[in-house]
Chains A and B, each alone.
Chain A
Amino acid sequence: MPSRRELVRRLAVGVAVATAVAAGAVAWSSTLLGEYSVMDMGAGHGAPVDHAGHGGSGSGASAASGTVGATGAVSVTSLTADPDRPADVRVELTARQETVDVPGGRAIEGYTVNGTSPGPTIRARQGDLVEVVFVNESVAAGATLHWHGLDLPNAADGVAGVTQDAVPVGGSYVYRFVAEDAGTYWYHSHQVSHEQVVGGLLGAVVIEPAEPPAANLATDLDVTALLHVYGGQHTLNGRADDEHVAAAPGETVRVRVINTDQGTAPVWSDEPFRVLAIDGHDVNEPSDVDGRKLLIPAGGRADVAVRAPDHGAVGLHVGGARRVLVGDPAADVPPAPQATETLDLLAYGEPAPLGFDPASADRTYDYVIGRRFGLLDGRPGNFWTINGRLFPDVPMFHVTEGDVVVMRIVNQSGDVHPMHLHGHHVVVVSRDGVAASGSPWWVDSLDVHPGESYQIAFVADNPGIWSDHCHTLPHAVDGLVAHVMYDGVTTPFTINGAAGNQPE
């Protein structure tokens, strides 16, 4: 028989343990996200239900109701291209969850668009109205199409749970947009994207310029080099092999490199090349790049001009494992050792007017990336933080149409982060305090390396709710997602609700 003192001690320990377990359970359950709207995110709006500040109109969630009238708010569903304008380019894309054939390699289980991965390349001319009818035939988790790098109306942005519901099996969605900017872009699913993009639900988009390009940007030939790793196999345009481009001596080839992978892709050659465009925006007065490598962030694109040599062929290494060989197709080209120096786009090309003044910013925001242990949706792990806070307690970047927005992106973590803002192109103002001195460096996907600090600027000219996230997609799953929200714009869509929306 234990003594009274022993009984008291055991009771105390029991109460302490029970309290600790209960407190732990409460703390754990408070991190569960459940169904939520991105409108409820932002500092001070951590809890999904807290919604006092929005006049009570915003939380009319899930019932997709179109324009919400109560506070003069505009729903993302009404932010569309001119519905009366007929389409200039019309494409039907059908997504399937099935085996992906990888010529030159082994097949993997993944996703296809119109039976292949990558799916068909969408081609249009600048100014065309593009209409894509997207059909989900068998992607069990639902799917969407996001138009990476295209600054299009918010309703066509394709982010499940923000701008639309994920398209269920048997469903469809029509994307309509005017291709305002010429250049190289790509499309991919933005529903469970860390699986569907990796599995191949993607394809290229090429917008031809309305006017022929300036003489120093013109090329004789034009090819696409879409990089993707399928089950550990590096591919170019879906084939686990190098790409040969037959070109006569002296002919120039525009190679549109699209990095659809989760990490930075290097591009180099032992012959000089020129970078004609980054993320669909022309470089002003590009010079020859010799002995240096160009780095393309995950999700980013670069148009590179290569000149066919007088004899044989030249190899442009794209993404480490593959090459685009330009010249005599029969020529044997030894691989070029990778350049150790990196081309600094901060000082590449010649300056040109931006069209706005970043010094007179209407809004300035910090986007500081860190990492710490914690719970995200009840899941323990070492997660990314934004401005020191874990998802969903991350900032909301509020803007008003017409604002000049300046953002400081700082990476205090140990990994590189390719930061991608939807619906806009941002211009790099400075890096680590050094002002940009080359051609205006317009990007939609920007690698921010450990310890770096970028100042970027953009004009808020495209109303909507726009995701601003890391394009190493598993990082987005682990909390590296914030949004730019225009005043007065609301969304009827929710994440984790009945529609099963999981954008990351």
Chain B
Amino acid sequence: MRKLYTGLAWTIAGAVVIQAAAIAFAFGGMLNLVSEGGVVDKALLESFQAGGVGEVGFMVHGVVGGVLIPLIALALLVVSFFVRVRGAKLWAAIVFGLVVLQVVLGFSIVGSPYLGLIHGANALAVVATAAVAALRVRRARAADAAQAPLEPAEGASSDAVAA
């Protein structure tokens, strides 16, 4: 379970990196389209062509941010209840809360562009808290592994449960 917890937490942190890359790619594509004489308007936006070659960046940003990360954050929160490490639940809850905030901000940007300022900063907070969550539980795993040789039978059984 601890392995799963750290895995999920690192996946969230990694997915945020993908988000940053994808949105930069998308806006690069859009500016490239405009610089070559293309016109971006609502009609093009709604027909999912406004990003030019970077359109896939918008799609990735939408799917990873709107579906994948929230699901993983939820899974992390659920898994945290089976991980007996101090703070595991708390940090999973913080990550989940920040992700929910991030999604709400993301869907509100069109109506209130200034929220974009918080959306970008909050992304870094998601990475940081996900990393803290992963590191804390990994440290606990490492500490247990160091103790394991002293109590071989108990260690084996808890590994089996973890697997």
Hey, which bits of chain A sit against chain B, CB under 8 A? 198, 227, 229, 231-232, 234, 259, 261-266, 298, 319-321, 371, 380, 382, 413-416, 450-451, 472, 474
Contacts and interface: CB of A to CB of B under 8 A. Distances in A.
B107 A266 contact: no
A447 to B, nearest CB: 10
A474 B43 CA distance: 13
A154 to B, nearest CB: 29
A321 B41 contact: yes
Contacts of A264: 42
A261 B43 contact: yes
A381 to B, nearest CB: 8
Contact of A262 (B38, B39, B40, B47): B47
Query: Which has the most chain B C-beta neighbours within 10 Å: A261, A298, A380, A450?
Result: A261
A155 to B, nearest CB: 31
A474 B62 CA distance: 15
A234 B66 CA distance: 29
Interface stretch (B11-19, B109-117, B127-135, B139-147): B109-117
A232 B44 contact: yes
B140 to A, nearest CB: 21
A321 B107 contact: no
B111 A229 contact: no
23 contacts: A227-B43, A231-B49, A234-B43, A234-B44, A261-B46, A262-B42, A263-B44, A265-B41, A298-B42, A320-B43, A321-B44, A371-B107, A380-B67, A382-B66, A414-B110, A414-B111, A414-B112, A415-B110, A415-B111, A450-B110, A450-B112, A451-B111, A474-B46
Given A298-B42, A415-B111, 14 more contacts: A198-B47, A231-B49, A232-B44, A234-B44, A262-B43, A263-B43, A264-B42, A266-B41, A319-B41, A320-B40, A414-B112, A416-B42, A450-B111, A451-B111
B49 A232 contact: yes
A88 B67 CA distance: 54
Contacts of A227: 43
B45 A263 contact: yes
Contacts of A413: 111
A261 B111 contact: no
B110 A229 contact: no
A499 B11 CA distance: 45
A418 to B, nearest CB: 10
B127 to A, nearest CB: 23
Query: Which has the most chain B C-beta neighbours within 10 Å: A198, A414, A474?
Result: A414
What 9 pairs across the A-B complex have the smallest Cβ distances?
A263-B42, A262-B46, A232-B49, A450-B111, A320-B41, A261-B43, A414-B111, A321-B39, A263-B46
Nearest to B70: A373
B137 to A, nearest CB: 20
A74 B71 CA distance: 48
Interface string B53-67: 000000000000011
Nearest to B41: A320
Given A232-B49, A382-B66, A319 B43 contact: yes
A19 to B, nearest CB: 15
Nearest to B78: A20
Contacts of B42: 261-265, 298, 320, 416
Contacts of A234: 39, 41, 43-44
A321 B49 CA distance: 14
A234 B42 CA distance: 11
Interface in B80-125: 107-112
Contacts of B109: 414
Contacts of A415: 110-111
Contact of B46 (A320, A321, A472): A472
Nearest to A317: B39
Contacts of B67: 380
Contacts of B44: 229, 232, 234, 263, 320-321
